[in-house]
Amino acid sequence: MVPDAERLAEHAGLSSERLHQELRAHLNDLSAYEQRVLAAAIDIANGGVNVSADAPDVADELISLARVVGALHPPQARHTTRTELSTRVHRTLSAKTLHTMRELGLYRDPDGVEPVWPHAGMLILNPILGCNFGCVYCFRADEQRESVDWFLSGRPTKVLEEDVLVDRLARHPLFVPGTTQLGLHTATTDPFLPQVRDSTFRILEILERRGWTNDVMIITKCYLRDQDIDRLASFTSFRILLFLTHNAAPEGMEKMGAGPEYLARKQRTVARLARWPHLAAAHYYRPIVPGWNDSEDQIIEALTFGEALGASVIGGLKEIPNLAELGRRRGLSLPLLSSEREEKYFPRELVERILGIHGRLGLTSVIVGDQSCGLTVMLSRLNRSAVPNVEGLKAYDLATGREPRCMGCCSPEQLSACAAPPVPTEDTVRSLLERAGIKADFDIKADRLVVRSEERLTERDTEFLAAHLRYAVFWQQRKGDSMRAEREVL
Ligand code: SF4
């Protein structure tokens, strides 16, 4: 029996009757088990659809999906009843159904994450959905959504083959071979979960074959096995910039990574990395949540871990709506968060405390407060000379007079490089605007690029320009003779 699919039909520009007819027409070609998978896929699609688009092939797509998932997870008596699918099959199906819907234009990820995802001026490659690291604060977790149960405790599920993904990257308008920084598996899973590791290496192998020299950022909460590190060290086309996370989180906060054994494995990872100086690595010390992992002992543990890597990127938590309740269910005390909901909560007092402990212990690692700074410090080390911040962070500080995001703890050479990034040439700016399809004129000033257009520059385009120029980028509205100046500040 075909379940209700009225919402799906309406969003796909079909009558409910026609969609039902098309689904029913193929039912007899499917086994009883595949029919159950199809029924579940229709339920997921009907509940998840959130965008309207002409999608006349939606029935065919769901039927092929039922066959694929049926073949991937053959029926097993102990896993299935006559009507229900196992949780494992259901989660795989959820991830693949939502991806299929996204490809048809019928589903938009609530966080805007895509398989080739422009973020902070980089392009992040995400062929997998689902993570089982078990972070209570995860803004992608099932608990944060209704009817989308593909993430927390979920089975990382491949939704796109890696070669297809890299083909898409090659065609992406914001991809500049040799320049655009790439990231792997961010905001959809962790690149070194056992189920994801092969995909991570497969992407790297394809990038290596293409011969692109774009830097590749990898952030992981997992430890790396010796053979993983040696394999990472074998790539020669591009540089790998590795962030290893350790935030001394208790088990209630991060299920998989807590405990001394896991920490010992991460320390072994750090020791092994020292064999390969061309593999850049830094410590990702995030999130730090007052009340959960900000005790003196926890800060000492995390900073000591970071000391061996030479740089720690500190940061707070992007709060999720029901965090306190989720924490309570896992036996955590109430997190001390801001009464006003902020993007990320990281009080000055906590920063001072961390810096105080760092100084008292006599540690020499550099403390920075932004991912772009961590990347910059790694690149400067690899280059053996300071390069400007990869997102023009300090250049923005100076151009706007805003509360500085540069923490000022870097070496004098690094501070100078970030304060005075090279002025871009007209040709470079013009070619980037053209590549991104931005119709605008511009002024290159000593401390900023001013882009003038009728349409406001999107955040994505502003970040693209800033990251590729390593220069502060502002927008002004162009309107006939009268120029209404508006500034867009990252
Ligand atoms: S000098 Fe400032 S902006 Fe540059 S990398 Fe260091 S912390 Fe970041």
Q: What is the pLDDT of residues 358-375, one digit of tens each?
A: 999 999 999 999 999 999
The yes-or-no verdict on residue 284 having pLDDT over 90 is yes
Last residue of a domain, one of 384, 406, 435: 384
Q: Band of the pLDDT at 413, cuts 50, 70, 90?
A: very high
Q: Could you give the 3-state DSSP secondary structure of residue 47?
A: helix
What is d(CA 275, CA 233) in angstroms, rounded to the nearest whole number? 9
- Does 185 reside within a domain? yes
The yes-or-no verdict on residue 92 having pLDDT over 60 is yes
Structure tokens at 23: 């689904």
Return the residue whose CA atom lies nearest to atom 6 of ligand 1.
410
Q: Within this chain, do residues 344 and 222 fall inside the same structural domain, yes or no?
A: yes
The yes-or-no verdict on residue 197 having pLDDT over 80 is yes
CA 394 to the chain's CA centroid: 23
Q: Within this chain, do residues 396 and 377 fall inside the same structural domain, yes or no?
A: no
Residues contacting residue 148 through CB under 8 Å, at least 6 positions apart = 48, 94, 98, 142
* Residue-range definition of the domain harbouring residue 397: 390-490
Q: Half-sphere exposure (CA, 13 Å, Cβ side) for 374?
A: 26
Mutate to test the pocket of ligand 1, among 389, 400, 405 (most ligand atoms within 8 A of CB): 389
Render pLDDT for 114-132 as a digit per residue (tens, 0 to 9).
Answer: 999 999 999 999 999 989 8
Q: Within this chain, do residues 225 and 365 fall inside the same structural domain, yes or no?
A: yes
For residues 477 and 456, is the Cβ–Cβ distance under 8 A? yes
C-alpha 415 – ligand 1 centre gap (Å) = 6
Q: Within this chain, do residues 409 and 489 fall inside the same structural domain, yes or no?
A: yes
Total number of domains in the chain: 3
Mean pLDDT of 208-230: 97
Place of tokens 């772009």: 372
Q: Within this chain, do residues 397 and 254 fall inside the same structural domain, yes or no?
A: no
Mean pLDDT of 398-419: 95
Neighbours of 81 (CB within 10 A): 9
The pLDDT assigned to 56 comes to: 95
- Does 196 reside within a domain? yes
Mutate to test the pocket of ligand 1, among 314, 351, 365, 393 (most ligand atoms within 8 A of CB): 393
Residues contacting residue 154 through CB under 8 Å, at least 6 positions apart = 91, 94, 95, 129, 130, 131, 132, 142
C-alpha 373 – ligand 1 centre gap (Å) = 5
Return the residue whose CA atom lies nearest to atom 2 of ligand 1.
406
Q: Within this chain, do residues 293 and 195 fall inside the same structural domain, yes or no?
A: yes
The yes-or-no verdict on residue 488 having pLDDT over 50 is no
Ligand 1 pocket by Cβ (under 6 Å): 368, 373, 376-377, 389, 393-394, 406-407, 410, 414-415, 418
C-alpha 368 – ligand 1 centre gap (Å) = 7
C-alpha 51 – ligand 1 centre gap (Å) = 40
The pLDDT assigned to 340 comes to: 63
The DSSP secondary-structure symbol of 46 reads H
Last residue of a domain, one of 361, 384, 407: 384
- Does 108 reside within a domain? no
What is d(CA 441, CA 387) in angstroms, rounded to the nearest whole number? 28
The yes-or-no verdict on residue 14 having pLDDT over 90 is yes
- Does 312 reside within a domain? yes
User: Mean of the per-residue pLDDT values for the chain?
Assistant: 91
Return the residue whose CA atom lies nearest to atom 1 of ligand 1.
415
- Does 357 reside within a domain? yes
Mean pLDDT of 26-40: 91
Q: Within this chain, do residues 373 and 226 fall inside the same structural domain, yes or no?
A: yes
Range in 103-112, 217-226, 339-348 with the lowest mean pLDDT:
339-348
Mean pLDDT of 456-468: 96
Q: What is the radius of gyration, based on Cα positions, of the chain?
A: 24
Structure tokens at 388: 């400007």
- Does 235 reside within a domain? yes
The yes-or-no verdict on residue 205 having pLDDT over 70 is yes
What is d(CA 210, CA 215) in angstroms, rounded to the nearest whole number? 13
Last residue of a domain, one of 384, 414, 444: 384
Mean pLDDT of 386-400: 94
Mean pLDDT of 248-272: 94
Which phi-psi region, left, alpha or beta, contains residue 279 (left: φ > 0; alpha: ψ -120 to 50)?
beta
- Does 109 reside within a domain? no
The yes-or-no verdict on residue 341 having pLDDT over 50 is yes
C-alpha 376 – ligand 1 centre gap (Å) = 7
pLDDT > 90 fraction of the chain, expressed in percent and rounded: 77
The yes-or-no verdict on residue 81 having pLDDT over 60 is no
Return the residue whose CA atom lies nearest to atom 5 of ligand 1.
373
Q: Within this chain, do residues 235 and 327 fall inside the same structural domain, yes or no?
A: yes
Which numbered atom of ligand 1 lies nearest the CA of 380? 5
Which numbered atom of ligand 1 lies nearest the CA of 397? 3
The pLDDT assigned to 153 comes to: 66
Which numbered atom of ligand 1 lies nearest the CA of 407? 7
The pLDDT assigned to 489 comes to: 45
pLDDT > 70 fraction of the chain, expressed in percent and rounded: 92
Q: Within this chain, do residues 19 and 142 fall inside the same structural domain, yes or no?
A: no
Range in 158-172, 338-352, 416-430 with the lowest mean pLDDT:
338-352
The pLDDT assigned to 485 comes to: 46
Which numbered atom of ligand 1 lies nearest the CA of 393? 3
Q: Is residue 221 packed enough to be buried (19+ CB in 10 Å), middle (13-18) or exposed (0-12)?
A: buried
Residues contacting residue 389 through CB under 8 Å, at least 6 positions apart = 372, 373, 376, 395, 406, 418, 421, 470
Range in 134-148, 172-186, 316-330 with the lowest mean pLDDT:
134-148
The yes-or-no verdict on residue 345 having pLDDT over 90 is no
What is d(CA 314, CA 365) in angstroms, rounded to the nearest whole number? 12
- Does 60 reside within a domain? yes
Q: Within this chain, do residues 155 and 230 fall inside the same structural domain, yes or no?
A: yes
| Residue type present at position 169 | L
Neighbours of 38 (CB within 10 A): 26
C-alpha 311 – ligand 1 centre gap (Å) = 12
Return the residue whose CA atom lies nearest to atom 7 of ligand 1.
406
Which numbered atom of ligand 1 lies nearest the CA of 409? 7
Q: Band of the pLDDT at 99, cuts 50, 70, 90?
A: very high
For residue 204, the domain's CATH number is: 3.20.20.70
The pLDDT assigned to 484 comes to: 47
The yes-or-no verdict on residue 221 having pLDDT over 90 is yes
Mean pLDDT of 147-164: 80
C-alpha 74 – ligand 1 centre gap (Å) = 53
